[in-house]
Structure 1
Amino acid sequence: MDAASMLELYRRDRRRLLSFLLSAGGGGGRALDLSRVDLDAVSADYALECVASGAHFNASEATRRYFDERRYPIMIGSSSGNSYFLLSRPMPSDSSPKEAAPSIGPQAPVQDNSSSTGQPTEPRDFFRDALSTSGIGYDTEDDKLADISPQQVNKVDILSLGLPRLTTELSDDDIRETAYEVLLASLFVSGKVHFSEEKREKKHKFLKGRRTKTEGSNPSPQVEDGYAHILDLTRVQMEISESMDILTKRALRHISLKTVKETLDVPRISLQLLSSVGKLDFPTERLRGQWQKRQANVLEELLLFSASLEYDTSNTLRIVLSKLKSTEDWVVTVPEGRVEVLTIIERYNTKLCSLTKKFDIKDETYHWTHNYHFNFRLYEKLLCSVFDILEDGQLVEEADEILEITKLTWPILGVTEKLHHIFYAWVLFQKFSQTGEILLLKHASLQIREFRLYHDVKEIELYTNSFICSVDAYGGNKVLSLVDSVLLKINVWCRRQLGNYHAHYSKNNYSIFEATLNLVLLLVTNSSEDDFEETMFIESPVGSTPELKLIHLLIVRSIHAAYKQLTL
């Protein structure tokens, strides 16, 4: 996980913890309304003090404490006084440092001059010497990575799919929230959701959005029988608040009327939201500004950076989007001005959608092929909603039902049956690599089997294989199809584990070893170039199948890795 994703995850967890603390005991005996509190600017120390003492939480004081704390270095209190955290290491008797602490960088290894030649002595690798004597070049990339310890192997960045990067400042949370909007729009268009106001049972704020997997739901909008529980569960899994859920449903309830003659796409969903949501629909100005900037960034990502637009068109669109991004000016703009801006953007989107389709398949839109890097990120977020947010590594009981409503987004996002299987295998395997839950690995293997068995017509096959990813493979950066990228990443990860199975597996996790081996044998046709070169030199039994040759190769690798560990 990159630094930006880690930061977003940290901020989201911090907000949830603060909300839990303050809702549970920060009101001084009274109900505490946090809807207008910016939890990102709340002092955690102040919140803990309020809970511990039973004092009433003061949002202004919490914000003041937060910014005061940022002005001073991190410190801890102790009986002997306050202690500061410094990068340098001053002597206790010295005065405080008067210069900035030096940056910490990688240090050169200490040379061992114990040998007579002055060169460091390294343990001799007899196994490699024997191979070298036989003329075998055994210095492959996977062999080097087989020496990585089990604790470090998961940190190797091989589970990045390599989709083209986003050009705008859309965060992980932005992608997640946009994905939920697309899901709701698909439900409205399919007729699965019918909007009507209903009174709902009052619920303590602390319990809002949290329930067990078997608890029923009573959402404000009326949903067709069989979908209310699943949609509410999906909302909770994707961490969407009830207020934002209701706001989005109100804005999208008439979107099906606008898509009778036109195919629905993500820009049209954003435009519908912008035209239907007003300033007073949000509890705070900050939330409204964040929401509007997200919609503007989505439109900019999908429309402004299109290679199909002429320069003059792009320049005009950039000016219009800048007005939309200026949230303060947007509020004071007269309604006619806002309508004009949205109309201009809609015309540009219509112009793009009218261009000749690449594959001429049913329901194909311009954004299927030109903005797949964004659409597929949305679909990944939707698929991840099958993982229980309360039990890491576990699928919710209603996973199959969630997948069914997720499939309603296929015409919007350009997903086919084969792409669904490969994406679902990908998110399952990613979660397995993080949690080690064997059930996820078995489900991923099942999805890959179904992917291999499914055959599309020629046009759809060409479409499925047209998406490009950039991955680090074969000793350099390579351009592969999305399908090949997924299979290669899974294959490489499994082989790196099995290439040192003596260290990674034991009797306690033998079932994971067996499932990993079965998966890598399923992918035996997706061998890397290093594997091909290596099998040319390592003799296998006569008449061996590709599967047996691979098993023999993994055994040799693991023996070599185990022997090397013993000689260190």
Structure 2
Amino acid sequence: MVLNTTTTVPNSTKTSIEDDDLPNPFGDLGLDLTDSELRETAYEILIGACRSSVAGKPLTYISNSEKSLDRSASMASSSGPSLQRSLTSTAASKVKKALGLKSKKKDLESVNQNAVSSVGKAKRAVTIGELIRIQMRVSEQTDSRVRRALLRVAAGQLGRRMESMVLPLELLQQFKSSDFSSQQEFEAWQKRNLKILEAGLLLHPHLPLDKAGTASQQLRQIIDLASDRPMESGKHSESMQALRSVVMSLACRSFDGSVSQTCHWADGIPLNLRLYQVLLEACFDINEETSVIEEVDEVLELMKKTWVILGINQMLHNLCFSWVLFHRYVATGQIETDLLFAADNLLMDVQKDAKATKDPAYSKILSSTLSSILGWAERGLLAYHGSFYRGNIDIMQNVLSLGVSAAKILVEEISSEYRRKRNEVDVACDRVDTYIRSSVRNAYAQASFHIFT
């Protein structure tokens, strides 16, 4: 992937992935948080989690195109050891291979053509943080502000890990309006962080709220007052001290009533899944939105560092990533069938996960996600005579496979949920038979209508 490292972040001119008619299966947040606000919050969590996990050391990453340049330079200088290291570093993405996604070679080839002439020129290493920043449409100014705040937090709380903090609270204490280009920008930033606290601690808490407790009522009052007039900034201000008291009281609750060492403010469903979805969407090339970036392996490894904060595990990752791949296919005009194929491949892991767990929260999200996928597939398959034609008949197999995969998992999940012994039914044959009968009836009805009218 070729990165544009200027301060201007490109905006896609195509339809936003939120502009389609597929409802989000993870659930409604219940308050007005825009895609941009979710992206900025997810980015802050990612940067914070990475700093916490590596004790402040910078994460340096050389993109595949840069690696290819190194390889060609090594070839030109006939350096054996360097050639060996470069060949190893340019191995194809394991994630893309596992999902059945094609690797883009055009960027590597274009770099190779100019590699010899570039030998000896200084190359600037691209950090993985910069790659993520560009992919998530975060400006350099915002990135600099977040990192500056995290340095201040780290300096004041040495030894504490990010999961033992409430990140929006820490950020709110670090900045004043003078740190922003305008008062309006500062107020929007403050409101966004307060909305995240509202979503994570009041609307979708990790643990149910204690109806007899006063902390939730106090937080609600603080948020309501701040919606009319900005909170007084500064770590030691009276309003900020009051906010810290109620936020930490709500975030540090545990099932047994003791004070938890881990703060729970972003791991309640659906807030955690929506934030993680935003992170996963950064795996798509910002300049070619139907293409998964070559650096997806490294990016996903980095995103795993957020799991402890967001309450994500491998099962939720598989389910969320399968939805993101499918959703991107539908939202971008249904032109890149590789995405549909990849989502179907990932559903094989989802099927194994579903058999291995009885977690009711996971089962609810699983059912909602697969029902949405199956519903979309069946809108075409139940009347496939009208949905598929010579120009798009090739994708029918992919749609059918995805729909059958979703149906199989749902049948197994329902049988397990109600503890019923499932009859040995071939789900694939049953669904295909249903689609054929339904489509023939629809085709016959349409033909009859045209004949008799």
1:178 to 17, 41, 45: 41
After superposition, residues 21-420 of structure 1 pair within 5 angstroms as 157-161=21-25, 163=27, 165-191=28-54, 194=57, 228-253=126-151, 255=153, 258=157, 260=159, 264=163, 268-305=166-203, 307-308=209-210, 310=212, 312-322=214-224, 324-325=226-227, 328=230, 330=232, 335=234, 338=237, 340-357=238-255, 366-367=264-265, 371-420=268-317
| Distance change in 2, residues 1:341/1:462 (3 Å) | farther
Does 1:496 find its partner at 2:379?
A: yes
Alignment match, 1:427: 324
Does 1:515 find its partner at 2:413?
A: no
Between the aligned partners of 1:503 and 1:249, the Cα distance in structure 2 is 54
Alignment match, 2:433: 552
Deviation at 1:410, TM superposition (A): 0.4
Moved more, 231-240 or 423-432: 231-240
2:361 counterpart letter in structure 1: S
Deviation at 1:527, TM superposition (A): 5.7
Taking every aligned residue pair, what percent have the same amino acid on both sides? 25
2:142 counterpart letter in structure 1: M
Does 1:563 find its partner at 2:417?
A: no
Between the aligned partners of 1:255 and 1:192, the Cα distance in structure 2 is 13
3-state SS in 2 of match to 1:392: strand
After superposition, the C-alpha distances for 1:428-456 in whole angstroms (9 at most, x for unaligned) are 11111123110111111121112223489
Deviation at 1:329, TM superposition (A): 5.8
3-state SS in 2 of match to 1:394: strand
Confirm or deny: 8 A CA contact 1:324 1:330 kept in the other structure: no
Deviation at 1:249, TM superposition (A): 0.8
Between the aligned partners of 1:400 and 1:166, the Cα distance in structure 2 is 30
Deviation at 1:311, TM superposition (A): 5.4
Confirm or deny: 8 A CA contact 1:521 1:547 kept in the other structure: yes
2:31 counterpart letter in structure 1: T
After superposition, the C-alpha distances for 1:494-540 in whole angstroms (9 at most, x for unaligned) are 12211122222234333311112222222332568xxx9xxxxxxxx
Between the aligned partners of 2:270 and 2:326, the Cα distance in structure 1 is 20
Between the aligned partners of 2:348 and 2:38, the Cα distance in structure 1 is 29
Alignment match, 1:446: 345
Between the aligned partners of 1:558 and 1:497, the Cα distance in structure 2 is 9
1:408 counterpart letter in structure 2: K
| Distance change in 2, residues 1:239/1:522 (3 Å) | same
| Distance change in 2, residues 1:424/1:16 (3 Å) | closer
Deviation at 1:156, TM superposition (A): 8.8
Between the aligned partners of 2:48 and 2:130, the Cα distance in structure 1 is 15
Confirm or deny: 8 A CA contact 2:26 2:270 kept in the other structure: no
Deviation at 1:564, TM superposition (A): 2.1
3-state SS in 2 of match to 1:355: coil
| Distance change in 2, residues 1:16/1:508 (3 Å) | closer
User: Relative contact order, CA 8 A, sep 6+: which one is greater?
Assistant: 2
Confirm or deny: 8 A CA contact 2:197 2:265 kept in the other structure: no
Between the aligned partners of 2:435 and 2:355, the Cα distance in structure 1 is 34
Between the aligned partners of 2:429 and 2:282, the Cα distance in structure 1 is 38
Confirm or deny: 8 A CA contact 1:320 1:345 kept in the other structure: yes
Between the aligned partners of 1:176 and 1:523, the Cα distance in structure 2 is 29
Between the aligned partners of 1:213 and 1:193, the Cα distance in structure 2 is 32
3-state SS in 2 of match to 1:497: helix
Deviation at 1:16, TM superposition (A): 5.7
Deviation at 1:422, TM superposition (A): 0.2
5+ residue gaps, structure 2, are 1-9, 14-18, 60-105, 112-123, 416-423
Deviation at 1:396, TM superposition (A): 2.0
Deviation at 1:230, TM superposition (A): 2.8
2:281 counterpart letter in structure 1: C
1:466 counterpart letter in structure 2: A
Between the aligned partners of 1:348 and 1:424, the Cα distance in structure 2 is 35
Confirm or deny: 8 A CA contact 2:219 2:247 kept in the other structure: no
3-state SS in 2 of match to 1:393: strand
Between the aligned partners of 2:440 and 2:324, the Cα distance in structure 1 is 32
After superposition, the C-alpha distances for 1:153-204 in whole angstroms (9 at most, x for unaligned) are xx994543151x33433222211111111111111111175369xxxxxxxx
Confirm or deny: 8 A CA contact 1:185 1:255 kept in the other structure: no
1:506 counterpart letter in structure 2: Y
| Distance change in 2, residues 1:295/1:227 (3 Å) | farther
TM-score by length of 2: 0.68
Aligned pairs, number: 358
Does 1:466 find its partner at 2:361?
A: yes
| Distance change in 2, residues 1:264/1:454 (3 Å) | same
> Which has the greater radius of gyration?
1
Between the aligned partners of 1:181 and 1:336, the Cα distance in structure 2 is 19
Q: Choose between structure 1 and 2: higher helix proportion.
A: 2
| Distance change in 2, residues 1:227/1:342 (3 Å) | farther
Alignment match, 2:71: none
Between the aligned partners of 1:559 and 1:485, the Cα distance in structure 2 is 29
After superposition, the C-alpha distances for 1:35-56 in whole angstroms (9 at most, x for unaligned) are xxxxxxxxxxxxxxxxxxxxxx
1:490 counterpart letter in structure 2: I
| Distance change in 2, residues 1:365/1:444 (3 Å) | farther
After superposition, the C-alpha distances for 1:200-230 in whole angstroms (9 at most, x for unaligned) are xxxxxxxxxxxx98899xxxxxxxxx99533
